[in-house]
Amino acid sequence: IPDKAIILNTMNEPVAFVIVEEKAQARKLTLGLEKNLMVQVLEGIKPGEKVVVEGNEKLKNGAAVKVIGEEVKKGNKDTGGKK
């Protein structure tokens, strides 16, 4: 996930907010590698879940949220040897 999606909670643990039924849900994270402003999440978020990347600094657990824009990133696809 983008590194800006990760904040530290009051116990100095990394968390990110995911959107569940239009509400913010704080998830404690276990992090892996970091590269190019992206951070690997080993535990805490499942593939396909929507993660808050803007305005998360003051967000509270359970707060109502509205998605105003979505950025979908796709991984590299196998081009079958074509470049």
CB distance 65 to 19 below 8 Å: yes
At 30-79, the pLDDT tens digits run 999 999 999 999 999 999 999 999 989 889 999 999 887 665 443 333 33
* HSE-CB of 38 using CA atoms within 13 angstroms: 7
* Mean pLDDT to the nearest integer, 11-21: 95
pLDDT recorded at residue 68: 77
CB distance 58 to 24 below 8 Å: no
| pTM of the model as a whole | 0.78
* Six token digits for residue 16: 């990110």
Place of tokens 């009051």: 10
